[in-house]
Amino acid sequence: MSNLELDPREIRGGAGEVAGREVLEGREVPLGGPRAMTVSRTLPGVHRRMIGAWCFVDAYGPEQATMRVPPHPHTGLQTVSWLVAGEVLHRDSLGTLQEIRPGRLNLMTAGRGISHSEESPAGSVLHGVQLWVALPDASRHVEPGFEHHPTLPVLSGPGFAATVVMGTLGGVTSPATAYSPLAGAEIAVDGDCEVPVDPAFEHGLLLLDGEVAEVGRGPLVYLPPGRSGVRLSGRGRVLLIGGEPFGEEIVMWWNFVGRSHDEIAAYRKEWMEGEGFGTVEGFDGAPLPAPVLPGTRLKPRGRVR
């Protein structure tokens, strides 16, 4: 296989595989509580849990909504916040206070442990994605950190302009810190185009706005390794994520990424006892309590179930 050219008739419901490609339907999830704004979560899915090191994809909007996510903890991952419309204010236990707007990147590395909150002006139009990247075992206990990148490099070609958010695409590399071979980009499509990709990577495509024939509205389209280019046609914006297939098994529960049930239980205990994750200053409200652990032991799992 060299290049992708999806027949739009093949983009159908369900998580069935189409010539090596999968359509991953999203499920609606309340963000930050039962009365909070609703997001569409396409990763992790019932069958596929990761695309490269990307382990979580939430998409929201465009809609008039208020994001209000109280302080909560993370371990073993990076959060990638990317907006198409609106603004979100980030606070974290490092003392960071940073607004994000469209075209700018907020990247938080949880490492051994961090807590943060997110909120937007009441009733504003919000449209964007929240992504997680699982840290490999060698890097998952790094010191927590935060980066804000107001400008990012662009890969341009006939019919497209790709803002490289994370990793490398077509020889263009984002300044954001990455701990495994990755690609993450917002691709503006204007006509027919072919975007170069690393054939060693698996990829996912998610329509952000407009009409792009190869990507259905709503689901995440998974592409296995083996392609040197992705062909797209139409006018709109597409999120592309990719990376080398992640070879480690992980345990992902609530806001934690770990390697065993006991590790996750220890993270939960620390959070509930107010240890290990610092304090988010300035948020008007109480931190989120952790849910109760399931009655059965959490098991490490790989890229697919």
Is residue 11 scored above 50 in pLDDT? Answer: no
Residue 244: burial class (beta carbons within 10 Å; 0-12, 13-18, 19+): middle
| Mean pLDDT (whole number) for 139-153 | 98
Which phi and psi (to 5°) does residue 264 adopt? -65, -45
| Mean pLDDT (whole number) for 217-227 | 92
Is residue 46 scored above 60 in pLDDT? Answer: yes
| Mean pLDDT (whole number) for 291-299 | 97
Is residue 9 scored above 90 in pLDDT? Answer: no
CATH superfamily of 20-243: Jelly Rolls (2.60.120.10)
DSSP tag of 10: G
pLDDT of residue 32: 58
In terms of Cα–Cα distance, which of 81, 89, 95 is closest to 119?
89
38-46 contacts, C-beta under 8 A, 24 or more apart: 39/130, 40/218, 42/206, 42/219, 42/220, 43/204, 43/220, 44/252, 45/15, 45/220, 46/15, 46/305
User: CB neighbours (10 Å) of residue 101?
Assistant: 12
Can you give the pTM of this predicted structure? Answer: 0.92
Q: What does the domain layout of the chain look like in residue ranges?
A: 20-243
Query: 119-152: b or e for each residue (b if 16 or more CB lie within 10 Å)?
Result: bbeeeeebbbbbbbbbbeeeebeeebbbebbeeb
pLDDT of residue 36: 65
Is residue 154 scored above 60 in pLDDT? Answer: yes
pLDDT of residue 216: 79
Tens of pLDDT, residues 104-144: 999 999 999 999 999 999 889 999 999 999 999 999 999 99
